[in-house]
Structure formats: structure tokens, C-alpha cells
A and B are shown apart, each in its own frame.
Chain A
């Protein structure tokens, strides 16, 4: 629903590591974009600059008309949902309460101090749980669920927020292949049906090819590919997975064989 404009974003960490070396991209509203790249390419850093979990050293990010700055952080996050590799649910809270934390940006601090929500929030959270098929687990403690179920709670939490954008940072990296398939399918369906802009970090070429409208290939903090998923040919992939200028090793051969 909102387009994302990333302009010359660079990020250097305190230890001197340069995660992003001037990345620019425009992600159209309502699209399903995959950021693809090897570990350490800067995928997470890039995704996290979009909702201000990381602050770029230079460059800017804009969601819709709203620039992401320290001052606009809460306003930005109120319209951007996020799904994490390790789910990042609050273990000791019920599934329902976890989903309801997606509504917190609409609630006052005073009511929240007493864990109070509005009936309307409960309805939204309930609908979100229906979408991910977990209504029967609503009152279980979050840490009692399996990994795949926890990730679906994570998606329900993002949905409950009724966001314009959902960011997913390696959402299937801790899950088995079948569950990964379900989770990616769910995200794809949310994109298509609700028109929410979805940006997913992945390291699996095969999933990127099947689910993405568009792929941004990242390697060592630089965009090396930006185009449709269909354009991911051998040459492109070897550029994405290239290390230190060396020719790509056998691992890529295996990976391509599965792709």
C-alpha cells in the first residue's frame, strides 16, 4: 500500500564493519520483493533501516510520504509490521496478547499499563488469528507452540497492526521445508489479497524465484541485481553469491541444481 524509497543508504557499525555501501532502491506499493544474498551481505541491515531498527550512517529511507527519522519512528513503525527469523514473540504471554501487541501503537500508555485493549482490537486480533489458522491456540502461551506456529503468530501480530508494509527478516530460516512453504505462501497471499507491500530477506534462491515479483540481489553491501524474479539466471546468481572476486565455488553449483 505504501511504496518504499531507499536512497544511498550506507551503514558502518561501531566496530568499523561496512554493512551497506550506498544502496538505492524503489520498492513499489503492493509488491512482493525479496532481498537475496549470502550471509553477511547486509540484507538484515538494509531491512532494519526501513523501520528504523538500524539508523543509516548516511542516506535516507522514505515510506510513502513519510521519511524514516528518529522523530518519526513511532509513526513509521505504526504502519510497518515486522516478521523475524526467531519470531521474537514474548514467550510468557498468550498468543492472543502477542497478537494484540500489534495494536499497541493505537492504544494509550495508561490503558496499556493495565493490559487493557478495546473490543475492536480483540476483533482485529481474532481475525488475524483466523487468517493464519491458529484460533484454537489463542489462549496458549506463545512458547508452547512449535516453530511454524510461532511464526504464524508473528505474522498475525503484523497483520493485527493493519500495516501498509510488512518486513520479514529471514522468516523461514529456522523452519523445515514444508513449514517454510506454508509461511511464504501466507505472506504471498497477504500481499495479493490485502495489497500490503511485502519485503522479505531470503538466502534461498529457489523460494525467491517462486514467490517474488521482484528480487534485489545484495552482495557485500552493494546492489548487484534489481529486477524481476525470472531474471535470476546463472550469471546473475554468481554475481550475487560471489565472494572477494573469486569465481563461485561448488556450493553455488549445488544450489543452482536445486533452484
Chain B
């Protein structure tokens, strides 16, 4: 037997049974589920000319007259994002404390808050937007409400998790000097969880901008409405600028948040 023969790092040199079985199961599952979602290779190949044609349509000069409207709608989307995130931040801070095992006043409160937060983020923004559009009518308001609602679900959970990993010695140091319940949370829990909080807010801001960009789909304000209309009316001269503007705003926000975070921590 040649010593250069390839083998796996197992006693007999054959692939380990566990990983092989898992991999095989995954492949089998994909093979079964592929046809169910009509993922078939022939259709994909047949669609190539159409895709090229669609791509060609995108490469048209933008509709210059539309650009100012785009700017206004993009601004509205940004405003929705900031407003919804700020509202959610104010609500999430106390809920985060109640949902943290080590800061909650009682196990019952902890469980109830946790479940409430799970419920809030169980459905995506779009679904909540549908609900709020039915409740308060079309426009950015139901969009902001839906966004803030789901954001509280995520932010509260992230805040709670940041609070749960803090150093309890620092808490004891403050507690030993007669600080009250809320004072402990303000002076010992909060400063320790703060860098994590900032990271969470930045991440969620980024996520919310993208979420806000599609809320228009259901008539909840923002750039999404224009995006859907352009798509449906084959206004390719608007489609590309809209997509590009979303990309630019997301990228700028991402860079800014990175810089801000680094300065703070």
C-alpha cells in the first residue's frame, strides 16, 4: 500500500459515519423538495433568454423627471426607519430589563415578557403592516407602527441577552452600598450592556431600512410603492434608479454605523 494514498482521519481511513449520514440526508431532502417548488433545471435553462431580455430592459437611461420624487420618497423611507427604530428603542429598554433572567423582578414577569417579545417578532413586518393598514388606513403611519412593533420584538430580546451576560461582581459592588432596584439597573447593569446595545441598534437600523423599503408593497408608505409600481408598469427607467438608491443608502448607513460604533466602544 502506497503511503501517499489519501484517507480520512478515522481509525479505518473511511469517512466518518455520522457526518456522511447527515450529508446524505440533506441531499435526499433537497432532491425530494426540489420538484415541489418547481425547481427544475430544464425550465431554468429555458428561461435564460428571457432573463437576458429583462436585463437588457434595465439598461435604459433613467427617467430624469422622476428623480426628485424618488428623493422625496427615499427621504420618507429614511424617516420611517429612524422614527420606528427610535420608538422601538424607548419601548425595548424597559422590556429588555424585564426579559433578562438576571434583571427581571420575578420569574413570571420574565416568562411573560419573553413570550410577548416572541409574539411580536413571530410575523414579518409586511404582515403586521397589512394588519395596521387595515386598522389605520394607507400611508407611512401603519408602516412605522408595523416596523416599530417587530423591532421591539427583536430589540427587546437582544437587549435582554446583552444584560444576561454582564459581570455580577460589578452589580454586587454597587448593591453593597445601598443602591435600590432601579438604581442597580441604571448604574451597574446598563453601563455593562451598553456597547452591545449600540451594536444591536446599529444592526437593527440597517435591517429596518431594508424592511421599510418594501413596506410600500402593501401601501404602508415609503419607496416600496414606487418599486412595485415600476415593476408592474414595466417602467424600467425608474426601476434601476430605485434599486440603486436603496443600495447607496444602505451602504452609507452601514459605513456610518461602523464608524460610530468603533468610536464608542
Contacts and interface: CB of A to CB of B under 8 A. Distances in A.
A22 B175 CA distance: 26
B179 A105 contact: yes
Given A74-B178, A113-B182, A88 B169 contact: yes
B170 A78 contact: no
Given A88-B170, A91-B170, A77 B176 contact: yes
Interface string A71-108: 00011111111101011111111000100011011010
A78 B180 CA distance: 10
B194 A90 contact: no
Interface in B29-80: none
B188 interface: yes
Given A84-B169, A109-B182, A112-B183, A93 B176 contact: no
Contacts of A154: 173
A135 B119 CA distance: 51
Interface string B187-215: 11001101100000000000000000000
A201 interface: no
B176 A51 contact: yes
B169 to A, nearest CB: 5
A154 B172 CA distance: 12
B177 interface: yes
B169 A93 contact: no
B228 to A, nearest CB: 44
B91 interface: no
Of B173, B181, B191, B194, chain A has the most CB atoms within 10 Å of the CB of: B173
Nearest to A105: B178
Interface residues of A, number: 34
A74 B172 contact: no
A53 interface: yes
Contacts of A115: 186-187
B176 A91 contact: no
B187 A93 contact: yes
Nearest to B194: A92
Contacts of B83: none
Interface in A29-78: 51, 53, 74-78
Contacts of A101: 173-174, 177, 179, 187-188
Contact of B180 (A51, A81, A92, A104): A104
Contacts of B167: 91
A112 B192 contact: no
Given A86-B169, A113-B186, A115-B186, A161 B178 contact: yes
Q: Which 6 residue pairs are nearest across A and B when measured between Cβ atoms?
A: A88-B173, A105-B178, A77-B178, A78-B178, A82-B176, A104-B179
Interface of B: 167, 169-170, 172-183, 186-188, 191-192, 194-195
25 contacts: A53-B175, A74-B178, A78-B177, A78-B178, A80-B178, A81-B177, A82-B177, A84-B173, A84-B176, A88-B170, A88-B173, A89-B173, A90-B173, A92-B191, A92-B194, A101-B173, A101-B188, A104-B177, A104-B187, A105-B178, A109-B183, A157-B173, A158-B177, A161-B177, A161-B178
Interface of A: 51, 53, 74-82, 84, 86-93, 97, 101-102, 104-105, 107, 109, 112-113, 115, 154, 157-158, 161
